[in-house]
Amino acid sequence: MRRSCAAWVWAGALLVLLAPLGSGCGPKTMKARMEAGERASDRGGEALDEADKLLKAGDLERAEERVKEADRALSDPDVMTNPEAELLKTRLAELKVKIPEERKRREAEELARKVAARREVVARSVTAFRKAIAAMEGKPGDRGALQAARDAAKKVHDDVEWDKDLPAKDPEFKGYLDGLRQDLEDGDKALATAEKTMEFVDGPLKSRDDAAAGVAKARTEKNPDEKVNLLVAAQDGYRRCAEDGKKAIAATPALEKATVATEPRSLTGGNLIKECQKQVESSGKLLASAKKVAAAAAKKAELARKKAEAAEKKKAAAEAKRAKKTAGRR
């Protein structure tokens, strides 16, 4: 490193001022201190130059290592004999600030990138969930639509809760997720109602359908006793429909107005219960009539049985008489 004459004069004067007094081994000579200071300054300057390049290249770890090397080199007291000492220390101080700032800036960029990516994932899941809920509500009792809504609900909640650290680092993203959670509550309620609706379909509605099928079969049944059995089962089915339906609505009031059937006509839970209550009475009348027919048929069958028994006895007595007469002749 070349120095001007003026610089050497300044350094010499500074050495005189800084030279220790009364050292047992004797102080360094001015020349020795200047040479040592120049070497340390050179090492520090080179380390700072490398740190600058590494910082621009984005290698913050290695840049920080070079800054530490420069700090150690420029901590040598003899560096002060170098006229560029203050400039080097200023550069060192600036790099000590720049590297953390750059690290902070990069962390912020990385956080923003992660947040943007997560927002995109969550937004897709939310859209899919809303579509699934709408499809489910348009097809009450459709198991495929309900399962699709279940799957979409799990996906959106998994995506919203996927990363606990990210929202903690980004208050705006946390607010976005908190708002979504509130917004998704309506969808969750609709799904919960649909789940209960499906239970209603599998319970009271199935009892109604089975009972209706039993009545239809009973109308064509020729055997009076079997007809009675079918109508007894049908009336019990209608009764279960009404009673279980009332319990279900008491537990989930939304079922009263929820559509639970679309064929052969649309029915809400409340309407289904009313229908089943009417059918309990209607099927009861059919059952009473069927029982009368069965009783008459049983009575007729009993008379026929007794008549057949009497005829059989008469026939047996006649055969016995003939057998006795034939035996007497012999």
Confidence label for 303 from pLDDT (cuts 50, 70 and 90)? confident
DSSP assignment of 41-54 = HHHHHHHHHHHHHH
Contacts 24+ apart (CB under 8 A), 54-60: 55/95, 55/98, 55/99, 55/102, 58/106, 60/99, 60/102, 60/103, 60/106
Residue 34 has pLDDT above 50, yes or no: yes
- State phi, psi for 259 to the nearest 5 degrees: -75, 120
The answer to whether the CB of 207 falls within 8 A of the CB of 237 is: yes
| Rounded Cα distance, 166 and 111, in Å | 8
Any idea what the Cα angle at residue 23 is, between residues 17 and 27, rounded to 5°? Answer: 55
Which of 38-42, 109-113, 209-213, 259-263 bottoms out in mean pLDDT, i.e. has the lowest? 259-263
Mean pLDDT score, 98-112: 91
Mean pLDDT score, 42-50: 90
Domain ranges for the chain, please list them: 5-83, 112-329
Residue 20 has pLDDT above 70, yes or no: no
If one counts every other C-beta atom within 10 angstroms of the C-beta of residue 125, the result is 22
| Rounded Cα distance, 70 and 58, in Å | 19
pLDDT digits (tens, 9 = 90+) for 262-288: 777 888 899 999 999 999 999 999 999
pLDDT for position 315: 83
The pTM of this model reads 0.61
The answer to whether the CB of 80 falls within 8 A of the CB of 12 is: no
pLDDT for position 26: 53
Residue 160 has pLDDT above 80, yes or no: yes
Average pLDDT over all residues of the chain:
85
More confident: 318 or 123: 123
The residue type at 81: T
- Name the DSSP letter for residue 253: G
Q: What residues have CB less than 8 Å from 46, skipping those under 6 apart?
A: none
| Rounded Cα distance, 149 and 131, in Å | 8
Residue 123 has pLDDT above 90, yes or no: yes
The residue type at 297: A
The answer to whether the CB of 74 falls within 8 A of the CB of 118 is: no
Cis peptide before 264 (omega within 30 of 0): yes
Confidence label for 130 from pLDDT (cuts 50, 70 and 90)? very high
185, two tokens:
């509550």
Any idea what the Cα angle at residue 293 is, between residues 289 and 299, rounded to 5°? Answer: 145
Q: At 229, is the secondary structure helix, strand, or coil?
A: helix
94, two tokens:
């600036």
125, two tokens:
């899941």
pLDDT for position 215: 93
pLDDT for position 311: 81
The answer to whether the CB of 283 falls within 8 A of the CB of 242 is: no
pLDDT for position 209: 92
| Rounded Cα distance, 12 and 7, in Å | 9
| Rounded Cα distance, 189 and 185, in Å | 6
More confident: 248 or 313: 248
Residue 117 has pLDDT above 80, yes or no: yes
pLDDT for position 27: 64
pLDDT digits (tens, 9 = 90+) for 60-83: 899 999 999 999 988 989 888 888
Q: What residues have CB less than 8 Å from 269, skipping those under 6 apart?
A: 197, 200, 204, 245, 248, 249, 255, 256, 257, 258, 260
Q: What residues have CB less than 8 Å from 95, skipping those under 6 apart?
A: 48, 51, 52, 55, 63, 67, 70
